[in-house]
Amino acid sequence: MQSPSNSSDKFYSDLPIFRDFLGVSDEKNFHDVPEDWLVVVSDIKGSTKAIESGRYKDVNILGASSIIAVLNCVQNIEIPFVFGGDGASFVVPESCRKPVEKALNGARRLAHCSFNMELRVGMVPVKVILEGGFRTQIAKMQVSPWGTLAMFSGGGLAYAEKLIKDPETSATYEIQPDLDDKEDHDLFEGLECRWEPIVSKKGETLCLMVLARGGNELKSAESYANFIEEIRKIYGPQRDYSPVSPSQMKVTLDSKLLASETKVRIFNKNLLTCLAYPVLLRLSCIPGRIIFKFRLKVGEMDGGEYLNTLTKNSDFQKFDDTLRMTIDSNPEQRKKLVEYLEAQKEGGSIILWNSNFRFSTNDVYGF
């Protein structure tokens, strides 16, 4: 489903890895993406209003759907991406242009036909980003023996998103619709969202974005390093502030919570599949609930190991020019963190921070 590869296609798969999130503050971990690669962006138009109206689950699963579609269409090349909740950003080699266009056109049709939403999708060459005065750099963090997360810096992703959204330039970089949907049937194979909402262990789930003051890369890196160290002083080691742990993961049997996955998985399928899938999905959740609750081993499935890996692979802390974290917090810890951030903002170390807190996390997806 993809074009023959060339020498730069292995750029991301060959990158060195780091294991401590503090590594996002070390510029040595970031590497320039080849000029012949592409920055790809998908996002849902009007997502804020949709979330405010209670459709956060639909918004999230559409963002995840664009990821699974791309991964299914490009299976022989490791593709770096970052999930943004209402969409995703990817960096792909030129050889993957056609399959990625096919994948995101399928995701756009899914959004329109099954969710009555509009998915914006576009591509910007890295060369254009360089000409605009920005860089696209990637670092690769290992989070489990089987999982890595891509971290981005240089401003390239934000600049690409601006070009794709700006009415004056969007036509140049938008992925043109493809009316041929004959091969959409398996685009979303493997996407699962079958977990109950995750309730905070400490009372609050804090969603945080921090942007260091620009103009001096070394100073910004120092600000991010200091912030991460402060997080660890307030909250302790990573396992103490991660919002997701194996003990919190429970397979749901609620048909309402399974509805979004159902919409994705029956898209473009025949009538029999559309009728049978909701029933079969709910039935399959019953043994899953038992296996994961009691950490059973059934054949090649090890319930305990699966949950450990899934939670380690969670992207609750990431970096894409802005440091983003989802933290399990109590009110006293939040108060200390806010005081620290306000002091840093007044002192000029950070230019922006924003947060909100709620009592359950975003959904956890399986790919």
Is pLDDT above 60 for 4? Answer: no
The model's pTM: 0.92
Is pLDDT above 80 for 83? Answer: yes
- When the candidates are 3.30.70.600, 3.40.50.2300, 1.10.287.3510, 3.40.50.620, the CATH number that belongs to 204-244+314-358 is 3.30.70.600
pLDDT score at 144: 94
pLDDT score at 19: 97
> Residue type for 127, please?
K
| Residue range 221-259, pLDDT digits in tens | 999 999 999 999 999 999 999 999 999 999 999 999 999
pLDDT score at 24: 97
Domain boundaries, the chain: 7-173, 204-244+314-358, 247-310
Q: What percent of the chain has pLDDT over 90?
A: 84
Give the residue carrying structure tokens 């890996």. Answer: 309
Answer for the pair 143, 149: CB distance below 8 angstroms, yes or no. Answer: yes
Give the pLDDT band (50/70/90) at residue 349: confident
DSSP 3-state of 344 = helix
Give the pLDDT band (50/70/90) at residue 215: low
The highest-level CATH class for domain 7-173 is alpha beta
Give the pLDDT band (50/70/90) at residue 5: low
How far is the C-alpha of 127 from the C-alpha of 338, rounded, in Å? 39
CA distances from 203 to 112, 258, 284, 308, 326 (A): 37, 26, 32, 22, 13
pLDDT score at 365: 46
Tokens of 83: 């999930």
How far is the C-alpha of 156 from the C-alpha of 230, rounded, in Å? 28
Answer for the pair 105, 177: CB distance below 8 angstroms, yes or no. Answer: yes
CA angle 58, 119, 251 (to 5 degrees): 25
pLDDT score at 213: 85
In sequence order, what are the beta bridge partners of 142?
148
Answer for the pair 123, 36: CB distance below 8 angstroms, yes or no. Answer: no
pLDDT score at 363: 55
pLDDT score at 362: 44
Given this chain, do its domains 7-173 and 204-244+314-358 carry the same CATH topology?
Answer: yes
In sequence order, what are the beta bridge partners of 357?
206
Give the pLDDT band (50/70/90) at residue 219: confident
| Residue range 24-49, pLDDT digits in tens | 999 999 999 999 999 999 999 999 99
Please, what is the average pLDDT of the chain? Answer: 92
Give the pLDDT band (50/70/90) at residue 319: very high
| Residue range 93-133, pLDDT digits in tens | 999 999 999 999 999 999 999 999 999 999 999 999 999 99
Interacting residues of 273 by C-beta distance below 8 A, sequence separation 6+: 266
| Residue range 270-279, pLDDT digits in tens | 999 999 999 9
pLDDT score at 361: 43
pLDDT score at 139: 98
